[in-house]
Amino acid sequence: MSDNLGKKFEQVFKEDFSKIPGCSIDRIYDPGFGMRGVSNICDFIAYVYPTVYYMECKSIKGNTFPLTNLKQYNKLSKKVGIKGVRAGVILWFRDHDKVLYVPISTFTDLIKDDKKSFNIKYLQSKEYKAYEIPSVKKRTFLESDYSILLDLEDNN
């Protein structure tokens, strides 16, 4: 069931992100399980002038997202520091009805600090950069306003 929720969340993310005026968003082909040696940089590449977004979507039950679940880290981290590029992870904390944007640079900080996971409590502590996406709970999923990503000061 959680796999199905994760895939459905990707679809909901695309629909919600597409509401941003002037947005172009593409789902990167998902090779699925069993495709040895094939991996993508992320789930979605989007563009809203003047920024390109590399976004990976993850659905989490509980309070933490294990860093080992971010297989795309090495590829996404190569986008850090490129002007006009934002790379990050959209985390849906199902038990908390929250959607967060976590810049890939935050995962770099977590790794440097020898952390094994991203905990939702980091949102309140400001210890690590993460941004709550304004969302309204529907039946299962949340309807989210990703336009706040356009106003973030850092580029990763």
Q: What is the pLDDT of residues 20-42, one digit of tens each?
A: 999 999 999 866 655 555 679 99
Average model confidence (pLDDT) across the chain = 91
Q: C-alpha angle 40/70/29, rounded to 5°?
A: 25
Average pLDDT of 2-8?
A: 78
Q: What is the pTM of this model?
A: 0.91
What percent of the chain stands above pLDDT 70? 90
At the second CATH level, the architecture of 2-151 is 3-Layer(aba) Sandwich (3.40)
**CA nearest to 76, candidates 58, 95, 50:** 58
pLDDT of res. 140: 86
Backbone angles phi, psi at 50, to 5 degrees: -105, 30
